[in-house]
Structures are given as C-alpha cells and as structure tokens.
A = this chain, B = another copy of it.
C-alpha cells in the first residue's frame, strides 16, 4: 500500500450566489482595498489516503467528494493527488 496526499478544492458554482464572498468583497472596500472584486470562498481540504496505486486513490477521493465533501447541487470540486 502506498500513501498519497490529496488536495481538494470545493467551490460554490459560478452561477450560484456566494453570500460569504459578497460580504468579504464589501469588507475589502471598508479596509481600503478597493481594487479587490469578486471574492469567492470555498473549502480547501487535505487528506491522506492509502491505496495500491494512483488510480485507486483517485477513485476513493472522488467517492469521498461526491458522498461527503461537496454538495454537488451548489458546489463543484477539483483535486490533485501526490505520493508522499
């Protein structure tokens, strides 16, 4: 079994309003950072996984994203896997 590290990004879909991001965009203005626009906030998830090879690890991470980490109605995800 090899150990892999996965880095997953879960972001609100483009067509969906991101209220947290909107609030932060507003706060940027109050802080004087008027050049900053369109803040969007999602999740960054790291995890360790043991698997025979990259394909198996990738399939397991995909399953984890689909069943637990991302809400596919409102969010999309991408991930990278690297051997450690």
Contacts and interface: CB of A to CB of B under 8 A. Distances in A.
Interface of A: 1, 9-11, 21, 24-25, 27-28, 31, 33, 35-51, 60-61, 63-64, 67-69
Given A36-B61, A37-B48, 16 more contacts: A11-B44, A24-B45, A28-B64, A28-B68, A31-B64, A31-B68, A33-B60, A36-B48, A36-B60, A36-B64, A38-B46, A38-B47, A39-B45, A39-B46, A39-B47, A41-B44
Q: How many copies does the complex hold?
A: 2
B36 A45 contact: no
Nearest to A67: B31
Contacts of A39: 45-47
